[in-house]
Amino acid sequence: MRDSWRVREAHFPLQVRFVRPHKTAAISVTGVSCALHCAHCDGRYLRGMMPLSSADVRDARSCLISGGCDLQGRVPLLPHLPQIVALREGRRLNWHVGLADEETIRAIAPYADVVSFDIVGDDATIREVYGLSATVPDYWRTYDLLRRYARVVVPHITIGLRGGRISGEYAALAELQRRGVETVVYLVLIPTRGTAYAECAPPTPEIVGDVLTAARCALPETALYLGCMRPGGSYRDRVDAIALHAGVNAIVNPAPGAVALAAELGLRVVWDDECCVFENVK
């Protein structure tokens, strides 16, 4: 971790961005419906989003466009495109597309300020978590298509996605290192009531730290963010502190202790109130 901090010092100013994204409206094009019933979510997180049909975005400066997936792992965006485009006036859009096909990617590209794309680095994890017959190369093909057409693509990697176990996170990192990437968002499994992983333990904070440290050292010039999806309470206190020491550039919904620690580490704090991926997207 000392090495990763030195990498951070060499490539970035002593500044950290803390994000409370209350000015980004989270919108689901499918309401609470999802065909996949994934082991880590089972549609629970769709309940916290506004249905597109009744979305009130008057107080939002930006929107996250997401939703449940079909049986191929795609968010069905094309039928809703006119409604989504209408929301964009005066706002930026962050799209979550799943394993989108080229037709969809080309259609949404003119309206996508940024695309957030979940990367999975292990075939067994794809089968166990999502129940899909897709493979790791399918994810990279979609990622490459997104990078061909979209302005900004930000890969997301969930640490411990497979029931709290490490199962492809380092493989995904190695592939991003080979391709080159400007920003990576790391998330952490939240064992969620009512899902198949409800009784699983999340990866220990130290394991999360190992992954973040490896990422900082492998991607010295890449902005690394600790995203909004991670467990709360004392777990978050510990993970956020480790993440700062590992050299992340931003933390979403930071624990209070992380704010104090940033000052101790000599980091200038910048606060933001929109989804973390909008950094440097004008």
Residue 85 pLDDT more than 70? yes
Contact criterion met (CB below 8 Å) for 246 and 206: no
Q: For residue range 174-195, what is the model confidence (pLDDT) as tens digits? A: 999 999 999 999 999 999 999 9
Output the pLDDT for position 281: 75
Q: For residue range 2-27, what is the model confidence (pLDDT) as tens digits? A: 899 999 999 999 999 999 999 999 99
Residue 45 to residue 28: CA distance in whole angstroms: 10
Residue 120 to residue 262: CA distance in whole angstroms: 31
CA distances from 116 to 98, 263, 265 (A): 9, 30, 30
Mean pLDDT for 233-259 is 97
Q: Band of the pLDDT at 282, cuts 50, 70, 90?
A: low
Residue 280 pLDDT more than 90? no
* The residue to which tokens 């466009």 are assigned: 65
Pair of tokens at residue 57? 């975005």
Output the pLDDT for position 113: 97
Count of domains for the chain: 1
Output the pLDDT for position 20: 97
Range of the domain at 204: 2-278
CATH code, domain carrying 32: 3.20.20.70
Mean pLDDT for 144-171 is 98
- Decide the pairing of beta strands 268-272 and 92-96: unpaired
Pair of tokens at residue 176? 């991003």
Mean pLDDT for 218-231 is 98
Residue 252 pLDDT more than 80? yes
Q: For residue range 51-79, what is the model confidence (pLDDT) as tens digits? A: 999 999 999 999 999 999 999 999 999 99
Residue 99 pLDDT more than 80? yes
Q: Band of the pLDDT at 1, cuts 50, 70, 90?
A: confident
Average of per-residue pLDDT values in the chain: 97
State what percent of residues in the chain have pLDDT above 70: 99
Q: Which of 191, 177, 195 is nearest to 230 (CA)?
A: 191
At 108, which amino acid appears?
Answer: I
Contact criterion met (CB below 8 Å) for 8 and 30: no
Q: Band of the pLDDT at 227, cuts 50, 70, 90?
A: very high
